[in-house]
Amino acid sequence: MPTWNSRGLRGSVLEDLINRTNEMYREKGLALIQKVPTPITPIKIDKEHRHITLAYFEQKSTVDYIGAVQGIPVCFDAKECASETFALQNIHAHQVAFMEEFEHQGGISFLLIFYTGKNEIIYLPYREVRRFWDRGANGGRKSFRFEEIAVSYPVKQHGGFLVPYLDAIQQDLDDRDAGD
């Protein structure tokens, strides 16, 4: 079981940028997206400095963020990838199941992947996540390469927003409407 000082809770540049972007979206009335807290149970506490040094996760988390954009339910997970190959082990089965259920309820699910070596953030819609997930489950590659992402939307800084993913959501919605 992962613990507080395991790699599962290391600092995330992407999450910091998303959190700042979400604050701006809220202030401008564009979206209300919140970071989903991960419930933990402390095991060791440094009483002198009053902080948790070791803890375990009480339950599996769903995704990193959830909220609404102009009345549309949205959930997504933020991932960082140092190479051009993203390992599917970075996405958990319960997260895929949650995103699928969220989509069935009329919401939009996606990943924001920060390819640190390329300094590029990609919006990857759930349908693409599912395609790679199913491929891995059926004996295929348990990863996908950057160039394999058929339906992805680059997220480029503009207008003062650090991770302006609302543009990618709009593009995704337009593509879904065109496919109907």
Do the annotations mark residue 64 as ligand-binding?
Answer: yes
For position 46, what pLDDT does the model report?
74
Q: How many CB atoms lie within 10 A of CB 138?
A: 7
User: pLDDT at residue 160 above 80?
Assistant: yes
Whole-angstrom CA distances from 175 to 99, 125, 152, 171, 178 are 19, 11, 11, 6, 5
Q: Which residue has the higher pLDDT, 139 or 7?
A: 139
How far, in Å, CA of 128 to CA of 121, rounded? 16
Mean pLDDT, residues 94-121: 94
Do the annotations mark residue 172 as ligand-binding?
Answer: no
Instruction: Calculate what percentage of the chain has a pLDDT beyond 90.
Output: 64
pLDDT tens track for 39-82: 666 667 777 777 767 655 555 668 999 999 999 999 999 999 99
Domains identified in the chain and CATH numbers: 7-179 (3.40.1350.10)
Q: What confidence category does residue 38 fall into, taking pLDDT thresholds of 50, 70 and 90?
A: low
Q: Which residue has the higher pLDDT, 3 or 45?
A: 45
Do the annotations mark residue 62 as ligand-binding?
Answer: yes
Do the annotations mark residue 174 as ligand-binding?
Answer: no
Under 8 Å between Cβ of 96 and 133:
yes
